[in-house]
Amino acid sequence: MEAAELQEGKDAAAYNMPAREHQVDRTDRLFGPEEAAPPDQRLARQLRRLQEVLQQTGAAAAREVAQQAGLLDGEATLDKLRRVPLLRKEDLPRVQAQRWPLGGWVWWERVRRLFVSPGPIVDPEGPGPDYWGCAAALHAAGFRAGDVVLNTFSYHLTPAAWMMDGGLQVLGAVVIPGGVGNTEIQARAASQLRATGYTGTPSFLATLLQRMDDLALSVHFQVALVTAEPLPGSLRVRFEGRGIRTQQAYGTADVGLVAYECPRKQGMHLLDRCLVELVDPHTHEPVPPGRPGEVVVTLLDPTYPLLRLATGDVSILVEQPCPCGRTAPRLAGILGRVAEAVKVRGIFVHPGQLREAASRHPEVQRFQFVVRRAGDRDQLVARVEAARSDPDLARRFAETVQAVTTLRAEVEVLPPGSLGEVERVLVDERRWD
């Protein structure tokens, strides 16, 4: 036997596991018949669901806004929905702080978990085995019952890990709650437990595979669902060259999953759990298919019935039929951000957070944050000018940034006058292929 096979046998024996690959049928098939529903029937069903949600919910703000738009009188229509003013994601911290609970947008009696995302924005979770709607996306990506899946999203305060966890439980998969960090420990666990699936960011999958190679560990991943950051084509080619079927999904911490790729990888199919519009970010009018617009989401759930949440993400709607048989419209990827906030290593960073971090260091006269891409990982770089020399400033400033944003930053202390007049607090220099 080869040395790697001998080691695999030892690893499996140590965990009382059989030394064999998990063989399942990953042939693409629909998760449910609604995925193939005619478009007009889908929209009619979503509008009926919207009406039911607004009639059921105990979220006072949602009912008030719906009443003003006429959504509680007669049938719900798209025209009535579009009378609702956009609720901007970056405004949620202020809205939630003004009125309890959570700005009046949540039906408190249905809440079972509360998460706190950067901003800070509170994200409630309601009842149900797959509240966040991830099961269909995982199924389309080839995950099946019996898969052992390393879930590398954080289980601490933010909801991404719980989103995936709920969908995996519905499918009957076994979850390794890896969380973030501890790359070597996760690499060894994935190898020893013969993990066949991966969920997390694409950049961490690249890092994990490199560490497994460095440690001469066997890799058993067969499927991966990645999200929270763009998936460059070069990374997908690299993963699939190693036999890892890799698909991506799109969602937000506020509403859960919005869209997902099928194996054809010709855009991301919209989930029926949300009613999605693409609008001109300036006029707020709908944009036609094929034209870029801001993604606006209405969550069809009575627990947190956000109406017309403007995500700040820009995409293009594709309505042409997909060869996979799923009939939902697709998002042609995420093209960028309307608002100033950017996503770094899967976490939104708001300029206001960076101003708050800098304000804790009065010796810093000017500052600017730059997001760059080094290899397969995002870098957050803080460039600061200080009034006086302090050899410990870089370390202290980095600690403050991490405390405020949860992200590690590289700090460059520059001579006074280097930055000139800073027009933007946060600059994204990344380029995606």
Residue 433 is predicted with a pLDDT of 62
Peptide bond into 101 cis (omega under 30): yes
Tokens of 157: 């305060």
pLDDT, average across residues 319-332: 95
| Chain segment 397-429, per-residue pLDDT in tens | 999 999 988 899 999 999 998 998 877 899 999
pLDDT, average across residues 294-322: 95
Where are the extended beta strands (E) located within 81-130? Answer: 87-88, 113-117, 121-125
CA dihedral 177, 205, 232, 327 (to 10 degrees): -40
Q: For residues 259 and 401, give the distance between their C-alpha atoms in angstroms, rounded to a whole number.
A: 32
pLDDT at 216 over 80: yes
Say which DSSP state 66 is in. Answer: H
Categorize the per-residue pLDDT at 22 as very low, low, confident or very high, splitting at 50, 70 and 90: low
Residue 347 is predicted with a pLDDT of 84
Terminal alpha carbon distance of the chain: 42
Instruction: State the chain's mean pLDDT as an integer.
Output: 92
Please tell me which residue, 102 or 17, carries the higher pLDDT value. Answer: 102
Residue 125 is predicted with a pLDDT of 98
Strand partners, 88: 310
pLDDT at 2 over 60: no
Range with the poorest average pLDDT among 2-16, 66-80, 248-262: 2-16
Range with the poorest average pLDDT among 1-15, 71-85, 96-110, 390-404: 1-15
Helix (H, G, I), strand (E, B) or coil at 11: helix
Question: CA-CA distances (angstroms) from residue 230 to 195, 248, 333, 348?
Answer: 24, 9, 9, 13
Helix (H, G, I), strand (E, B) or coil at 263: coil
pLDDT at 10 over 90: no
pLDDT at 16 over 70: no
Nearest to 428 by CA among 355, 315, 364, 338: 338
pLDDT at 20 over 60: no
Domain annotation for the chain: domains and CATH numbers: 3-34+127-273+317-339 (3.40.50.12780), 347-428 (3.30.300.30)
Categorize the per-residue pLDDT at 210 as very low, low, confident or very high, splitting at 50, 70 and 90: very high
Residue 269 is predicted with a pLDDT of 98
Categorize the per-residue pLDDT at 285 as very low, low, confident or very high, splitting at 50, 70 and 90: very high
Residue 109 is predicted with a pLDDT of 98
CB 369 within 8 A of CB 381: yes
Helix (H, G, I), strand (E, B) or coil at 59: coil
| Chain segment 119-156, per-residue pLDDT in tens | 899 999 999 999 999 999 999 999 999 999 999 999 99
pLDDT at 292 over 50: yes
Q: For residues 420 and 404, give the distance between their C-alpha atoms in angstroms, rounded to a whole number.
A: 25
Burial of 128 (0-12, 13-18, 19+ CB in 10 A): middle
Categorize the per-residue pLDDT at 375 as very low, low, confident or very high, splitting at 50, 70 and 90: confident
Q: For residues 30 and 12, give the distance between their C-alpha atoms in angstroms, rounded to a whole number.
A: 34
pLDDT at 360 over 90: yes
Residue 21 is predicted with a pLDDT of 55
Q: Tell me the backbone φ, ψ of residue 73, rounded to 5 degrees.
A: -110, 110
The H or E element spanning position 78 is: helix 78-81
Spatial CB neighbours of 128, under 8 Å, sequence gap ≥ 6: none
Tokens of 274: 């949300």
Say which DSSP state 104 is in. Answer: G
Residue 387 is predicted with a pLDDT of 85
DSSP letters spanning 133-184: --HHHHHHTT--TT-EEEE-S--SSSSHHHHHHHHHHHHT-EEEE--SS-HH
CB 134 within 8 A of CB 257: yes
